[in-house]
Structure 1
Amino acid sequence: MSGRPQLTLVSRSYCHLCAEMEVALGALAEELQFAVEMVDVDADPRLLAHYDEWVPVLLHGQTELCHYRLEVSKVRDYLSRIG
C-alpha cells in the first residue's frame, strides 16, 4: 500500500458492538498498516441523523466498509484494491 490509509470508526461509548469492533480493528490495523480515527456518533448531529442505529460503522472517506461487525475479508479486499 502506498501511504497509510485512514479509516474512521463511527461509534458510541455505550455500544458493545462498537467496543468489539474497536478491539478487532486494533489488531487488523497493526497487521495491514492503516490508521483508525474514532468518531462519536452522538457528538455530531449530521452523523447521528445518518448512522444512529447503524453503529458501529467503518468508513474510508465516504465509503462504508461494514457496520455492526467487522468484516475482515471485506476490509482486506478493499485495502488491497485501493493499494
Structure 2
Amino acid sequence: MSQVTKLTLVSRRYCHLCQEMEQALTALVADFCVELEVLDCDADPALEALYDELVPVLLHDGMELCHYFLDVSKVRDYLSEIG
C-alpha cells in the first residue's frame, strides 16, 4: 500500500489570498487523491518567522511549491512526477 501524499498550506484565517488558494486546491486534491493540511502561521511562531509575508505558501515535505497564488500547472506537473 502506497503512502498518501500530503500537501501543507501555510495560511492565515483573515487572508483572502489564503482562502482563494485553499479553494483552488480542492480540485487538485480530488484529482490526485492527496491530503491537504492547513496550518495557521499566526498560531506557530516558527511558521510565522519563516513564512510571515509569503502566505499563502504551499509545501510538500518542506519544499515550497508556490506562494501568494496557486501555480496549478506547476503543482499538477509536480504531483504527476511524484505520483
**One-letter amino acid of the counterpart of residue 7, structure 1:** L
What's the secondary structure of 1:54's corresponding residue? coil
Range with bigger deviation, 3-12 or 15-24: 3-12
Alpha-carbon offset, residue 5 of structure 1:
0.6
Q: Is the 8 A contact 2:12 2:55 kept in 1?
A: yes
**Pairwise CA distance, 1:74:** 0.7
- Structure 1: tracts of 5 or more residues without a match: none
**Root mean square deviation, CA, Å:** 1.0
Identity %: 65
TM-score (structure 2 length as normaliser): 0.93
Query: 1:35-82 CA deviation, whole Å, 9 max, x = no partner?
Result: 100000001111100100000000001110000011011111111221
Which residue of 2 is the match for residue 22 of structure 1? Answer: 22
TM-score by length of 1: 0.93
Runs of 4+, deviation exceeding 4 Å: none
> Any unmatched runs of 5+ in structure 2?
none
Alignment length, in residue pairs?
Answer: 82
